Amino acid sequence: MSSPSGDGPHSDAPPLPAAASAVPDAAPEAVGPPGSAVSAPAHAAGTRPIPGPRVRRAGRLLSWHPYVQVERLLGWAARLRYPAVSSALAAVALAGCGVLILQLVHRQTGTTGLLVGLGLALLPLPFVLGALAWLNQTARVPLRHTLFCLAWGACAATTVAIMANGWASDFLVAHQGSMRGETIGADFATPLIEESAKGAAMVMLLLPLHRRLRCRAERTCAVLVRRSPAPLRRSVRRLRNAPRLRRYLRPLPYFRPATYHGPHPRGGRRRARSSPRTLAAGVVLGGVTACGFAFTENALYLGRAFTDDQQTRLDGIGLGAPPSLRDFDTTVHTFVLRGLLSPFAHPLFSALTGLGIAISLTTGRRWLARVAAPVGLLLAIALHGVWNAAAGLGTHGFLLVYGMVMVPCFAALVCFAVWARARTVRSARHADHPPRDPAAGRSSRRGGTT
């Protein structure tokens, strides 16, 4: 700027405008992170940009929006469509459940009782698995699915059952008293918890993990955004239609409806029907899951009985006298009851659940598809409750229930297995040697004579 006297070295420079002379020299634009006040361009006088922390806070809130999180979760779930990823996650989860159930059993039985219980529980297992392997020749269930069901029953289902049974028993005893609470828990709560935990293995196999899950605006996110009762009612109405749920489940080869090859029905519509292979697959999956569950449960009960007998012997006799078989009456009684008389009890219960699920997935009748799976689960729970209630009726009452209920049910399951195997062998024989058409044979003979 020029000096006031006007005779300085810059006296000949033209005067600046008043507005320009009042504004100081603008500093060069600073560089900062995007969204902050430092990176904002120069604004007019009298204005101030939004501070950086507020912008970052707003972005953080938008990134944690619930609908954005739902989309991210669906994106993570889409990666489970790869068999290696889903199998690895299932193996890690089942291994964790196995470690947990081993710790729970060891806490109740001790080291010696745990080893004795595991050894005695292994004895009836090959016979049950051998029978199911014979039936699997009809079902043709892959080995990885049977191993998953076996591990689920031995690790995951028993972990859930032990924890849930403990909570239910404490709740019922606190509200219903000691005797009544234990009775209700053993006859109603325990069958419901255990059969639901075992039946979850087949539901896990049917989940569509191999498909790509997407957040579509007209389906998932629309229901989340529009919280009106109308779309929710439509969703509930859609879920009630059981046959339409098949397209949302995993199309396993042994859970596909059989093609109708008979004469054209009167109604003009051919319905899909359940094949012997499908029904046998449901029985095999349910039975294998129950085998794993029964193995862990037998190890727990047998190990606990051995520990109690050993403690009673030490309290009464001491270490001096040699042990005899009479000193372990409770262990022998438990093994005879669970290992010899009822090794097929749990597989029989879970076979009803698997049979109901198989019918629901393959039948073409809408009413049967809706009621088959719930009815199968309810029958399994009822039969399990009757079996548990028979234990409190004394020896004569137990033998009566065993002869009037368990033996006929087991005989019916054996007859079904034999029928399914015979039908499959007959179908394979007809496929290898199709029957000759008599009309074609007569025409060929006529052609030969002429």
pLDDT digits (tens, 9 = 90+) for 235-261: 444 444 445 556 667 768 888 776 555
Which of 128-132, 396-400, 423-427, 439-443 is predicted with the least confidence, judged by mean pLDDT?
439-443
pLDDT tens for 407-437 read: 999 999 999 999 998 888 887 776 666 555 5
pLDDT tens for 257-314 read: 765 555 555 554 555 667 889 999 999 999 999 999 999 999 999 999 999 988 887 7
Q: Give residue 337's identity as a one-letter amino acid code.
A: L
Q: Rounded to an integer, what distance in angstroms lies between the CA atom of residue 141 and that of residue 143? A: 7
pTM of the model: 0.72
Q: Rounded to an integer, what distance in angstroms lies between the CA atom of residue 41 and that of residue 280? A: 74
Predicted local confidence at residue 428, as pLDDT: 73
Which of 30-34, 151-155, 384-388 is predicted with the least confidence, judged by mean pLDDT?
30-34
pLDDT band at 136 (very low <50, low <70, confident <90, very high): very high
Predicted local confidence at residue 70, as pLDDT: 60
Q: Give residue 417's identity as a one-letter amino acid code.
A: A
| Residue carrying structure tokens 């019916």 | 412
Predicted local confidence at residue 393, as pLDDT: 85
Listed in sequence order, the residues at least 6 apart from 163 whose beta carbon sits closer than 8 Å to its beta carbon are none
Q: Are 117 and 170 in contact (CB under 8 A)?
A: no
Predicted local confidence at residue 194, as pLDDT: 95
Q: Residues of the chain with pLDDT > 70: what percent?
A: 61
Predicted local confidence at residue 299, as pLDDT: 95
Q: Residues of the chain with pLDDT > 90: what percent?
A: 42
Q: Which residues pair with 273 in a beta bridge?
A: 258
Q: Which residue has better confidence, 42 or 70? A: 70
Question: What's the Cα-to-Cα distance from 370 to each of 246, 276, 357, rounded to whole Å?
Answer: 12, 20, 10
